[in-house]
Amino acid sequence: MTAPTSSTPPPQPPPPEPGDLGFGHVVAQAVRGRFLNRNGTPNSRKYGLGAQRAARFYLAALDASWPAFILWMLGILLLINGVFALGYRALGESALRGSEALGVADPFLRAFAFSVGVFTTTGSSVMHPVGATANWLTMFESFVGPVTLVVAFGLLIARLTRPRMRLGFSDSAIVAPYEGGRGVMFRIVNLQPGELSDVHVRVNLVRYEDFDGVRERNFHELALERSSVEMFTLHWTIVHPITADSPLAGVTPEELAASQAEFLVFVSALEQTFSTRVTARTSYLWDEVRWDVKFASIFANGPEGMIAIDVERLSRTERLEEGATRKPAALEARR
């Protein structure tokens, strides 16, 4: 007696996810220009959401450099106090009494000193307002001042407690000799004192390709020599070996330019100061890829027993003989 056979077909594997990084087919074909700017920001914009000035100011305050942030905060605080000082001056000389004890002849400077005392709640010494309008203006400033200072210190704390990763990317990617063939390479380095670990890199190639006379933009994830490192204390040269299985097999500078290629780079790492993962992005367009060069040594002379690098050499290259990497290597021939 034979066992009954089941007519239920075996489960089908799930369809592979699209490799368009979430842009979608329609967007990928419609985009003109690069997907990512060199600083990692998306080259896109959304309309219909209003000005969003407060949110944009907050994000700009977080992303600004420390000198720019401090100068902007000081400038805004001085500007607000200057406006209030002009308000006190507009009320006349009799609006503020006791300013003679300051020993300052300039009436605006006396009003400014009074404004700063009220604004920062440190007190205005012997100076005091006289009249209903002057007192109303003083009370209004006594509310505006603490609120503004709370916002300023809040931004300062947010900057100090925000985990971030500041990577330096080489100015250009290069096509250099690699293990008897060629490889697309670029270098990165951690620019901050904090340590990074468990660093992962993903590189995607975006370019136009012709299929049966139809020109469309496609995405390819590039296989890397090494896609992760546990310790990232110096620099890292990321390499995509161009082999017969590579989407770039047999590519020339002219073909790369004709396809309007862009290399999208995504980096994630564990930031040890705050024990959280952080990310960084950048991209290289076809005209930001150099040929017939190789990276120069980045290592420098350090104390005995210590490995040292010179970050200023991150993008430095050495010329090779003409045609060294412009011509496809033998191992790129497709089987």
Q: What is the DSSP string of 159-189?
A: HHT-----EEE-SSEEEEEETTEEEEEEEEE
Tell me, yes or no, whether 285 lies in a domain.
yes
d(C-alpha 134, C-alpha 212), whole Å: 80
Reference 263, options 278, 248, 250; nearest CA is 248
Looking at the fold, whether 171 and 259 belong to one and the same domain comes out as yes
Q: Are residues 92 and 127 in the same domain?
A: yes
Q: Clarify whether residues 118 and 101 are in a common domain.
A: yes
189 shares a domain with 68: no
Residue 249 resides in a domain: yes
Render pLDDT for 57-73 as a digit per residue (tens, 0 to 9): 999 999 899 999 999 99
293 shares a domain with 181? yes
Based on the fold, state whether residues 244 and 310 are members of the same structural domain: yes
183 and 149 fall within a common domain: no
pLDDT band at 125 (very low <50, low <70, confident <90, very high): confident
pLDDT of residue 15: 47
For residue 210, what is the domain's CATH number? 2.60.40.1400
Residues 189 and 80 in one domain: no
Q: Is residue 27 part of a domain?
A: no
Q: Would residue 31 count as lying in a domain?
A: no
Domain shared by 176 and 295, yes or no = yes
Instruction: Please check whether residues 156 and 188 belong to one and the same domain.
Output: no
The parent domain of residue 134 ranges over: 53-160
Q: Which of 202, 214, 210 is nearest to 259 (CA)?
A: 210
The Cβ of residue 245 has, within 10 Å, a number of other Cβ atoms equal to 11
pTM of the predicted protein model: 0.80
For residue 16, pLDDT beyond 50? no
Beta-strand (E) ranges in the chain?
A: 96-97, 128-129, 167-169, 173-178, 181-190, 196-211, 214-221, 228-231, 235-242, 262-271, 276-285, 289-291, 293-295, 299-300, 308-309, 317-319
The b-or-e profile of 99-124 (16+ CB within 10 A means b, else e) is beeeeeeeeeebbbbbbbbbbeeeeb
Q: Is residue 288 part of a domain?
A: yes
Q: What is the mean pLDDT of the chain?
A: 87
Angle between helices 107-119 and 66-90 (to 10 degrees): 120
Phi-psi bin for 48: left (phi > 0), alpha (psi -120 to 50), beta?
left
- pLDDT by residue (tens digit) across 172-198? 999 999 998 999 999 999 998 888 999
- Let me know whether 189 and 318 are in one domain: yes
CA angle 56, 62, 63 (to 5 degrees): 90
Task: Decide which of 160, 177, 212 is a domain's last residue.
Answer: 160
| E strand or H helix at 88 | helix 66-90
Domain membership flag for residue 8? no
**In terms of domains, do 177 and 313 share one?**
yes
**Range of weakest confidence among 246-255, 258-267, 303-312:** 303-312
Number of domains comprising the chain: 2
Collapsing DSSP to helix, strand or coil, 120 comes out as coil
Q: Which residue has the tokens 């690098």?
A: 309
Domain end residue (candidates: 160, 185, 218) = 160
Radius of gyration of the chain (CA): 30
Q: Say which CATH number the domain at 76 has.
A: 1.10.287.70
132 vs 47, which has greater pLDDT? 132
